[in-house]
Chain A
């Protein structure tokens, strides 16, 4: 628990519990501890399932098979497809949202009343449930009356099938993800930009330093902690994306959008293969766990800055 120590050592004065009240913090955190345990039990169960041959429709075949579920993945094209689609989806959405979000944050940087109103309006897509957002875009891309289908037909592109065409399905769900989550990047980076000290920028302006130099040598380096935290946040959510893809196409057409969690959901409910589903989720957890450890370190640093202490 190196992070715990980090937090503890940088903490300011805390009440030293008197001998009589030594049980107090434990009592206060007991309910939270119970929730922790209640979540850990199914988590450990999933790890155990992943080492079993376990199919709901064939319960008598159930038994330990070691890491066979994992080894099977190595020679399974469906697994490599899932890994590839998940990584591509994550990379494209996070990069697009970072660039787009940073651009908008720079546009809204000066805290005028108009800029603040715009930044609040842009939060609305982010506060829309992602599954509902997918339905909104489904209505707009409907082949018979969707406004966007109509718009591309005006551009001379007929028969653009959005999410139901394998060649444009990924683009369509990425578009929805970008619509929902770019404001997340924007709002965190905007908060970061506005918290930067003014002196370096005033000095640069006095010296007539070119804008591109200011951006790459002053703004970007100072903004880096915010960029890293916001991007890791998005990376972690994006690689686990389920709502948008499930609501839009349920992983289709074919296996075109079979990201980790959609694939695991179908393995469980459609093929009732609990062991395989659990193994798939364990691999996803391994990836997210590595990412979240990096994330928490950066997040703690920002947190300290916001609170002036731990």
Chain B
């Protein structure tokens, strides 16, 4: 378009290549490292070509790591399962709470609705520790500390504003006339909601759900404060694993690969909706 000169094209090509190397190299390198033994990793200079081993993954999956210093127990599979349980439960709860509210905010004009919508939005930008630290003291009194429910509940801080605002946008884009006509034919609002509005907003609801899953999965600080070892998701578990295992670099790399694979796959699958999700519904891709 603007640059069609040869120099301009070469410049663009080189710049793009540098960008790709900078952003892709760490992922590729850690991926390769996860198939290396500790001896291979520690070799200097590092080699691109090596005999791959599945040893690191076997150790993580079996939960047993035999080293010269003795046997080390790894509970990383437990962390992985926790991540699945916590993120899925948080998204389900957020959909259950958020979709009806999003519909109400899109269809009805009421002051309380706007107040709720904007309060939740502003929570998204408040320091999480401000809520978490007093909450951890409350949780101790209520017996919610270190429970799945307690953690799922605070995940609403991430999932609910996202679902509320994205789904609200989808409902607003559906003309209310369709529902009007359906209602005039003698159907109740509930039928209009479940048979017309929700199916029409379906793709938006699914996208908002997937994105909230990614953001819950990637969260670190909530579980760091509220969960003990057996409830921790991968983000906190991986850090604890680094501290505990110290020099088992191959397993650390494998744990990193297992931690990021689910969200990266979901992100690729939902990439059409990422721009919208990242901007909380303000920019369409």
Contact = CB atoms under 8 A, between A and B. Distances in A.
A28 B101 contact: yes
A32 B97 contact: yes
Interface in B102-147: 103-116, 118-123, 125-135, 137-138
Interface of B: 1-3, 12, 15-16, 19-20, 22-24, 26-27, 29-30, 33, 41-46, 96-98, 100-101, 103-116, 118-123, 125-135, 137-138, 153, 156-157, 160, 164, 169, 172-173, 176, 179-180, 189, 214, 217-221, 224, 234-236, 238-239, 242, 249, 252-253, 256, 259-260, 263-264, 266-268, 271, 274-275, 278-285
A264 interface: yes
Nearest to B22: A179
A251 interface: no
Task: Across the A-B interface, give the 10 residue pairs with the lowest CB-CB distance, nearest first.
Answer: A4-B114, A129-B218, A28-B104, A25-B108, A32-B101, A127-B267, A131-B220, A42-B134, A45-B134, A292-B125
A104 interface: yes
A167 B204 CA distance: 47
Given A32-B120, A187-B278, A299-B280, A268 B169 contact: no
A306 B281 contact: yes
Interface size on A, as a range, is: 35 or more
A179 B26 contact: yes
Contacts of B259: 129, 132
A25 B113 contact: yes
A137 B101 CA distance: 41
A277 interface: yes
Interface in A186-228: 187-188, 191-192, 195, 201, 205, 211, 214, 226
A293 to B, nearest CB: 8
Given A21-B189, A43-B130, A278-B133, A29 B275 contact: no
B108 A14 contact: yes
Contacts of A39: 123, 131, 157
A162 interface: no
27 contacts: A3-B118, A14-B107, A24-B108, A107-B15, A123-B267, A123-B271, A124-B264, A125-B23, A132-B218, A142-B249, A188-B275, A192-B283, A205-B1, A214-B2, A242-B221, A243-B220, A246-B220, A261-B127, A264-B133, A268-B133, A274-B133, A284-B127, A288-B125, A292-B122, A303-B169, A306-B284, A309-B172
A89 interface: no
